[in-house]
Structure 1
Amino acid sequence: MSVVVPTAPEQAEDEMENQIKPPHPRPDAPPDYSAHFVSGPPAPAVPPPVGYPGGLPMGYCGPQHSTTIPLYQPPGSIHPIQYQPGKYHMPNQFAPITWMPEPTLMPNCPPGLEYLAQLDNVHVLQHFEPLERITRFETNNRYDIKNNLDQMVYIVTEDTDDITRNTYRTLRPFVLRVTDCAGREIMTLQRPFRCTCCCFCCPSARQELEVQCPPGVTTGFVAEHWNLCRAVYSIQNEKRENVMGVRGPCSTYGCGSDSVFEVKSLDGVSNIGSITRKWNGLLSAMGDADHFDIHFPADLDVKMKAMIFGACFLIDFMYFERSPPQRSSR
């Protein structure tokens, strides 16, 4: 006896395909978005800039939108972004700064001093810090070094901690770092602490400045000499041998006139150069923003030019640096 096994009814070929193929090619596609925004009248067409027939490429920031993208600051960064050499716009300044063209390398010249080798005078311009007068908090000094063409030669920044700077004020030990247009430190000026509690004629109370060029290599020293009437310094080489002398005026207050510090030979007869603190009117009297003119012969040894350059900053801190007024205890 034969057994008949029931079988499933045959389905049409088109129904089988419908079960295998999904009803939509992309089942996960989002539904169509219906916007409720009512568009306004079309804006006038703006022609693309010259040289870009299809408009500005993606990510390009045109000159008219140069301030729409903020400058990137790394997380936790304290120092500002270094700008490249040439003309650039510094923050909060309206005029571009032009750097002095980088000179060629010279034999027997410390790297970075090639700028001084072709100059016979430089201008030292201290930055004015209005917050010092308001908050009475001493900040690190900053200087711009320029030539007669108003071109930037160096930038000098003080590197002193807040406690030392606000405790010792004008008598503080400091480190000044001189950098060029590429941000390289080409010179370091160090002033050690000298106690002024003892007699002024004691050698331990005399101020001193060490000039290193390049940093870590001692070029010479600027040493103070005790004098009852005027400021007297000696410029020494790396062996502490006297090479030149600096003789200041009898009065270093400089109220209403320039203060000239003459650089003389060891015999005191011939003049070699000068360090002049310019009188800038009320800005010199009330603000802490000094202006110095340093003159030296163009054919003078470049290391001696660096020593005269360093003597300017020791003179500034000793006689013309004004600390913010302290609040009275009453």
Structure 2
Amino acid sequence: MAGIPLIPPGLEHFLGVDKVHVKETRESLFQSYSTFDLLTADDRLVYRAEEQRDCCGPRFDIRIRDIQGYDVFNALLPSDFCSCETRMVVSVPTGMPLGYIDRSWGSLTSSFTLLTSLGEPSLKVHGGGWSFMSDKNYEITAYNDNVILGVITHVWRGVRKEMLSSKDYYTIQFPSDLDVKIKALLVACAMLIDYLHREQRRQSNNSS
């Protein structure tokens, strides 16, 4: 059986790129699903992402399409019915995996391990810790050491924008020569972080 090609169709937009902006494009406060624009450092739109919602489906399912509307990859986190399941699967439209994201818990924050399609650990994304009215950074390091290779930043947009809009904004910085499949995993990781933030806010609002 043929495996994933070196550059899966649609991921060529990640070639030579060292920064991606992930901007939420929620149309209204009543929109129950998340949508995002993915842009390069020069603000060139390359992908759009849309969360899929199904009451009996997975708890997180997001599809990333190119600007022509063709599916490029998707990220899937299984249903809450298996609460011990913390592995996200990132795959191409045919179902072949690009890789996986494992979540682990620390005393205050979550961290993430990015694995290749063969299940081999590649990178770690370290929890952002506590922040107040400032950017929140998640350091990207090689799996076997603490050499910083990049960062996922949850951007603080200022008091006024944060109060008036629930749209989140992330930047992802990584080496330009990183495998495009791993770049796709980092994009999926940023969206997983956003999902966890939204769930945390929802639970906080429900308990207040």
TM range (shorter): 0.7 to 0.9
Q: Secondary structure at the match of 2:194?
A: helix
Length-normalised TM-score, structure 1: 0.56
Query: Residue type matched to 1:123 in 2?
Result: H
In structure 2, C-alpha distance between the alignment counterparts of 1:176 and 1:280, rounded to whole Å: 24
Which residue is 2:190 aligned to? 312
1:127-166 CA-to-partner distances (Å, cap 9, x unmatched) read 134342xxxxx512110111122211100011112x469x
Q: Please say which of residues 233-242 and 179-188 is displaced more in the overlay.
A: 233-242
Which residue is 2:19 aligned to? 121
Q: Structure 1: state its 5+ residue gaps.
A: 1-106, 133-137, 166-171, 197-203
Query: Residue type matched to 1:127 in 2?
Result: T
Q: Please say which of residues 288-297 and 223-232 is displaced more in the overlay.
A: 223-232
Q: Secondary structure at the match of 2:192?
A: helix
For the pair 1:248 / 2:127, whether they are aligned, the reply is yes
Query: Residue type matched to 2:48 in 1?
Result: I
Say which of 132, 146, 160 aligns to 1:269.
Answer: 146
For the pair 1:147 / 2:24, whether they are aligned, the reply is no
1:81-140 CA-to-partner distances (Å, cap 9, x unmatched) read xxxxxxxxxxxxxxxxxxxxxxxxxx72100000011211110000134342xxxxx512
Rate the CA distance shift 1:215–1:255 in 2: closer, same or farther, 3 A: farther
Say which of 166, 172, 176 aligns to 1:288.
Answer: 166
Does the aligned pair in 1 maintain the 2:24–2:35 contact within 8 Å? yes
For the pair 1:218 / 2:97, whether they are aligned, the reply is yes
Length-normalised TM-score, structure 2: 0.85
Does the aligned pair in 2 maintain the 1:127–1:141 contact within 8 Å? yes
In structure 2, C-alpha distance between the alignment counterparts of 1:158 and 1:144, rounded to whole Å: 12
How many residues are paired up? 201
Which residue is 1:260 aligned to? 137
Q: Structure 2: state its 5+ residue gaps.
A: none
Deviation at 1:264, TM superposition (A): 0.5
Deviation at 1:232, TM superposition (A): 1.2
Q: Secondary structure at the match of 2:50?
A: strand
Q: Secondary structure at the match of 1:130?
A: coil
Query: Which structure is richer in relative contact order (CA contacts within 8 A, separation 6 or more)?
Result: 2
In structure 1, C-alpha distance between the alignment counterparts of 2:198 and 2:87, rounded to whole Å: 16
Q: Secondary structure at the match of 1:114?
A: helix
Deviation at 1:195, TM superposition (A): 5.7
Structure (1 or 2) with the greater strand fraction: 2
Map residues 84-99 of structure 1 onto 2, 5 A cutoff. none
In structure 2, C-alpha distance between the alignment counterparts of 1:108 and 1:264, rounded to whole Å: 23
Deviation at 1:214, TM superposition (A): 4.3
1:260-315 CA-to-partner distances (Å, cap 9, x unmatched) read 00111122321121110000123335532100001110011111111111111111
Does the aligned pair in 2 maintain the 1:189–1:210 contact within 8 Å? yes
Query: Residue type matched to 1:246 in 2?
Result: V
Query: Residue type matched to 1:300 in 2?
Result: L
In structure 2, C-alpha distance between the alignment counterparts of 1:285 and 1:255, rounded to whole Å: 14
In structure 2, C-alpha distance between the alignment counterparts of 1:255 and 1:317, rounded to whole Å: 19
Rate the CA distance shift 1:192–1:206 in 2: closer, same or farther, 3 A: closer
Q: Aligned-residue CA RMSD in angstroms?
A: 2.6
Q: Please say which of residues 268-277 and 256-265 is displaced more in the overlay.
A: 268-277
Does the aligned pair in 2 maintain the 1:206–1:226 contact within 8 Å? no
Map residues 1-330 of structure 1 onto 2, 5 A cutoff. 108-132=6-30, 139-161=32-54, 163=55, 173-194=59-80, 204-205=83-84, 207-251=86-130, 254-282=131-159, 283-285=161-163, 287-320=165-198, 322-323=201-202
Identity over aligned pairs, percent = 28
Does the aligned pair in 2 maintain the 1:220–1:238 contact within 8 Å? yes
In structure 2, C-alpha distance between the alignment counterparts of 1:120 and 1:212, rounded to whole Å: 22
Deviation at 1:181, TM superposition (A): 1.7
